[in-house]
Amino acid sequence: MPMNLTDLKPNEGANRDRTRVGRGHGSGKGKTAGRGTKGQNSRTGGGVRIGFEGGQLPIQRRMPYKRGFTNIYKAPWEVVNLASLEKVELDGPVTPQLLEDLGLIRGTEFPVKVLATGELSKKIEVHAHAFSAAAKSSIEAQGGTAVVIERSDRWVTARPRTRKMPIDRDLKAARLGKVGGIERRSDLGTT
């Protein structure tokens, strides 16, 4: 006999009827409809968000170090590899200003470090704020010079700000209001 589309059917057990909850005792999920007895999750609209621990301080707040953090005082170094310096065609020294003009660094306000990725086959003079040991030896092996320039960027002295003013530190050192200390702020003689 020829085969018809009506003869096609899935394998036994491939398709299962969906569970119809809340449809009476005959459904096999009667009374509590598979939700157990009482409690938040048995109610309509019940349930809690991911990470909720019943009002207890959740683990992601109890242990914030698990998430890590970003150090806002970290100096954003600009990295230049020897492979990049190899491609540069020039006759004078390589300076941060020249690297900015060539588009190899974002700007001269950032400190520049030269790393040894790649090969160098020419004699060049490089002025940068730092060199890796391998980069310095590679430059000097070709007869070039690696000149370390002094950093003047704003991250040299970057440190967390304090809410306390210098006058407050002086007052504390002078024991303002304590036994044996000064009586008034004006007695410190700084104002």
CATH topology of domain 78-148: Ribosomal Protein L15; Chain: K; domain 2 (3.100.10)
Tell me where in the chain the CATH 3.100.10.10 domain(s) lie.
78-148
Tell me the CA end-to-end span of the chain in Å, nearest whole number. 110
| pTM across the whole model | 0.51
Residue 101 has a pLDDT of: 93
- Type and span of the H or E element at 137: helix 133-141
Residue-wise pLDDT tens digits, 128-153: 999 999 999 999 999 999 999 999 88
DSSP symbol at 11: P
